[in-house]
Amino acid sequence: MSKRTLDLYLYRLPLVAFGLLILLAIFADSAFAHGMSEEEKQSIIDGGNWSFLWLGATHMLSGYDHLAFVFGIIFFLTTFRDIAKYVTAFTVGHSVTLIYATFNAIQLNYFLIDAIIALSVCYIAFANLDGFRKYLSIEPPNMMAMITGLGLIHGFGLSTRLQMLPLSEDQLLMNIISFNIGIELGQISALAIMLLLIAAWRHTHFFRAFSVMTNYALILLGGFLFLMQMHGYEHTVNAEEFTAASVDSVPAAASTSTRLVVESAPWKDTMEITIPPRGDKEYKLFVARGDSFTYDWQTDGEALFYDFHGEPANDTSGSFQSFGKGTQQQASGSLQAGFSGTHGWYWKNSSRNPVVVTLKTRGTYQSADTMKSTPAIPQPAGGQSKTHESIF
């Protein structure tokens, strides 16, 4: 292969790499959502701290926003001392908030925090292009202070995702530390690959063009991720509005259709459901296809993550259809079932205090008359395996 051909491949490789990053951003699934199967949750519980370490490593290696930020940090660094200094500042920043926020059950909307993380990618690339002097005619902020501060924000994002996992109150600190060690191992692995890639271009005659193109690509990627996360944020903040719009668009005659209906009648059933600290529960109604029910639930103060969903009867695949989800203190509406099966709610309490949900329902359905309870919080290794509580 000639030098000219090799240079051409090296020149095109960044475009391919960032194209793959954008595709990953579009199609990546959240590994920490309610969509995680009970088998996967149980494997985390059974695996103990080693599972959290592995999850931390894989989360960092698949976290395109965190990796893009780290890539921006090291782009123009050439000495080991500078690389160690700035990467350590970022590591300290995200470790502090990861440990503190998770241990104290401090949660932010994950779409909103990820949107801010996306803007941090834009910021580091803009600083690399000397944008403050060129376009704003001001001196750039102290880079060390900014990287530490932005690291604190990244830590909130990591903490929010970690708190979606089945954490143990007894082993909480070790779960957090194991996850954080995994994050650092994943970061070191990704950092080594990044340094090798940058080193391959640093001594070529078009490194300057490569650097400009790559940092502009980082700005575009950060902007794209910001818009994507803000779109998700709107869906969680206005979950009922988006659910109504999407459900009404489904034809009523379709076999899997589900549409909202309006009812005005006294409540048929009222109950209180206690969600334990750092625990979760489900409540289900059996509804035949074509029948409908109306619901209203609210907490005694604390907002909960919820997923309003249904599972077809006699289905053994574990699949479910989600009608709406978000983090709220209250939700209400009506539903006409497009299939026969269980329909209801999953609630997750990330706080350190129990939360009581008052649920009111009316309509045509089979009420839950028994409660299958298993403790919601896993014990340390050697104890009894535990999953979330369900009411059927």
Q: Report the SS3 class of residue 320.
A: coil
For residues 16 and 159, state if they share a domain: yes
Q: Is residue 338 included in any domain, yes or no? A: yes
For residues 90 and 166, state if they share a domain: yes
Element (H, E) at 307: strand 304-312
Supply the DSSP string of 195-214, one letter for each residue: HHHHHHHHTSTTHHHHHHHH
- CATH number for 345: 2.60.120.680
For residues 102 and 216, state if they share a domain: yes
For residues 285 and 172, state if they share a domain: no
Q: Is residue 248 included in any domain, yes or no? A: no
Give pLDDT, residue 152. 95
Q: Is residue 264 included in any domain, yes or no? A: yes
One-letter amino acid identity for 52? F
For residues 156 and 267, state if they share a domain: no
Q: Is residue 243 included in any domain, yes or no? A: no
For residues 22 and 133, state if they share a domain: yes
Q: Which two tokens stand for residue 306?
A: 């919820």
Q: Is residue 358 included in any domain, yes or no? A: yes
Q: Which domain holds residue 217?
A: 3-237
Give pLDDT, residue 381. 35
Q: Where is mean pLDDT largest: 2-16, 231-245, 272-286, 368-382?
A: 272-286
For residues 195 and 111, state if they share a domain: yes
Question: What pLDDT digit, counting tens, does each position of 34-72 carry?
Answer: 344 555 566 666 677 888 898 889 888 888 889 999 999
For residues 176 and 133, state if they share a domain: yes
State how far the Cα of 97 lies from the Cα of 177, in Å rounded to an integer.
12
Q: Is residue 247 included in any domain, yes or no? A: no
Question: What pLDDT digit, counting tens, does each position of 116-162 carry?
Answer: 999 999 999 999 999 999 999 999 999 999 999 999 999 998 988 88
Q: Which two tokens stand for residue 385?
A: 């395996």
How many domains would you assign to the chain?
A: 2
Give pLDDT, residue 236. 65
Q: Is residue 135 included in any domain, yes or no? A: yes
Cα distance between the two ends of the chain: 66
Question: What pLDDT digit, counting tens, does each position of 90-127 carry?
Answer: 999 999 999 999 888 887 888 899 999 999 999 999 99
C-beta pairs of 198-207 under 8 Å, 24+ apart in sequence: 198/74, 198/75, 200/10, 201/10, 202/78, 204/7, 204/10, 205/7, 206/7, 206/11
For residues 272 and 174, state if they share a domain: no
Supply the DSSP string of 134-173, one letter for each residue: HHS-SPPPPHHHHHHHHHHHHHHHHHHHHTTS---STTHH
Residue ending a domain, choose from 237, 272, 290: 237
Residue ending a domain, choose from 208, 237, 266: 237
Q: Report the SS3 class of residue 80.
A: helix
Residue ending a domain, choose from 237, 263, 282: 237
Q: Report the SS3 class of residue 326.
A: strand
One-letter amino acid identity for 84? A
Q: What is the pTM of this model?
A: 0.61
343 phi, psi to nearest 5 deg: -135, 135
For residues 195 and 263, state if they share a domain: no
Are 124 and 218 within 8 A, CB to CB?
yes
Q: Is residue 306 included in any domain, yes or no? A: yes
For residues 230 and 261, state if they share a domain: no
For residues 227 and 347, state if they share a domain: no
Give pLDDT, residue 8. 47
* Mean pLDDT value of segment 287-307: 90
